[in-house]
Amino acid sequence: MRHPWRSRFTVLLLVMTIIGTVACAAQEPSDETERVDTVTVRRDDLATDITATGSVYYGDEITLSFDIGGRLVEMAISSGDLVQTGDILARMDTTDLELQVRSAEAGLAAAEAQLAQLREGPSDEAIAVAEGQLAAAEASLAQAVAARDQLRAGTTQADIAAAQASLASATAEQKAALLLHNRTMKCETVEMPGGPQRICPSLGAPEEEARFRLYAADEGLKAAQAQLDAVTQGASARLRNAAAAVDAAIAQRDVAQAQLELLSVSVSPSQVAAAQANITQAEIALDTAKLALKRSVLHAPTDGIVVAVGKKPGELVAPQAGVLRLADYQRYEVRGSIDEADIGLIGIGKEVHFTLDAFPDQDMVGQVSAIAPTATFDVGLVSYEVTIDIGDTDVELRDGMTANLVITRERRENVLVVPSRAIWIDSETGRPFVEKRLGEGVEFVYVEQGITSGQLSEIRGGVEEGDELVVRSSSVRDRFRDMMTATMTGGSE
């Protein structure tokens, strides 16, 4: 049931329209002669429709993301690009991931070597080799630690300090330039013979020079800040790499120490089992590192079109955070809003006819595939979004096209129909009637009206198939009655 305020709004809108029609018609010449037409009561199929507007959307749409976090270094596609399954879409920075793979590979090799040595048993040559490996590992560790410490206290701090000093100088220059420019913009009121006058003594060449100096100072400040950021970020990256090198050197040293210690004791079954477990753990660590490296590249999981790109190279991306959206460009759907008064008449699988503004002569058919469970509110009107599956079509669809929807509300077959303009409303009784021709005369006959499609109305009683009805031309008075009839009889039972 429609809300009472909507009915009142409809009547008010109708009255305003009628007043405008009568006013316009009053200005037209009044020499129009009445024309009488004759229509025949006939049988036909009749349907009432629900109309709405909607838009075309891509069908299946998915949001793609990385399984790991990191810094994005490449976005290989742009919005609107077509991609195929397996295409590379984006890449992460893999510097740390590659180091993790190398470290895991070294760990696996060491675990395998340890098991082999346990099974072969110690020898003088093996002990000598192990001692040499330990010495080399300790030397490598010392070099890595020295390099890291040098970065911490050496050139890195000096570069940062210099960049900070440049930034401080640029900041001071910018503040001075801003102060000078503000002074040139000051004006004062001076008593003159003709009365007080406002004078700005520094406008002109001084102000232009101050403005140029301020512009140069602003640019210098930006450059100094950018230099500090670059030095800081570069230093951080170098320190991370140096720290990773130290960790790798420590791992190699520990492995070499363990190998030498194993050579000095007898081998037991438990030691062999432990060595085999170390190999298994090392293999898992290597597989994990390789998987993380593989996940640093985002591939297209299916053919589609890039709907939107949400990240740019250089940005940090969190795990599972949306990076871009991909849609199936070979399947489309239409989404439209249906008034709450009509939503109860629509179900899944309901057939929908529609046209597109881009192809107004192309009648298309779809089926309701989804109905939103929650309502949408717009200026007091309540509606529900309905999704319509288009299926295969030869029409060249595009995302965002406007669709005009027509959904059959009620359909009746082989019923008596007459043009709606042949039906009038008795102003005293409120009952609908028609003018039935009888020979040379006309008889006013009350009828029982059924559903109406707008142009045609169903007649359930009062006339028979083949009866001839009189339809007069639309004078100003008739137009008023015509609009009232269309409003009062629309869809009544």
**pLDDT tens, position by position, 367-414:** 898 999 999 998 888 999 999 888 778 888 888 899 998 888 778 889
Task: Check residue 235 and give its pLDDT.
Answer: 64
Secondary structure of 168-207 in the HEC alphabet?
HHHHHHHHHHHHHHHHHCCCEEEEECCEEEEECCCCCHHH
Token readout for 439 is: 């020979």
Q: What is the DSSP secondary structure assignment for residue 403, as one 8-state letter?
A: E
Alpha helices, DSSP H only, in 264-314?
Answer: 269-294
Helices H / strands E in the chain, number of each: 8, 24
User: Kindly report the CA angle at 167 between 165 and 173, in degrees rounded to 5?
Assistant: 105
What is the distance between the alpha carbons of residues 135 and 448, in angstroms, rounded to a whole number?
Answer: 109
Residue 441 CA to residue 435 CA, distance in Å, equals 10
In angstroms, how far is the first alpha carbon of the chain from the final one? 14
R_g of the chain, CA atoms, integer Å = 43
Domain 61-93+296-327 in CATH 2.40.50.100: yes
What was the pLDDT predicted at 109?
92
- The pLDDT value recorded for residue 22 is 44
The domains of the chain are located at 31-48+411-489, 54-58+332-410, 61-93+296-327, 122-266
Residue 60, amino acid: D
CATH architecture of the domain covering 31-48+411-489: Beta Barrel (2.40)
Q: Give me 262's structure tokens.
A: 């194993």
- Tally Cβ neighbours within 10 Å of residue 330: 12
Q: How far is the C-alpha of 226 from the C-alpha of 163, rounded, in Å? A: 9
**pLDDT of res. 115:** 86
Q: Return the pLDDT at 245.
A: 81
What's the confidence (pLDDT) of residue 234?
64
Model pTM score: 0.42
Question: Which positions of the chain have pLDDT values less than 70?
Answer: 1-34, 121-123, 126, 153-158, 190-195, 197-199, 201-205, 230-231, 233-235, 262-267, 473-493
Assigned architecture for domain 54-58+332-410: Beta Barrel (2.40)
Reported residue count of the chain is 493
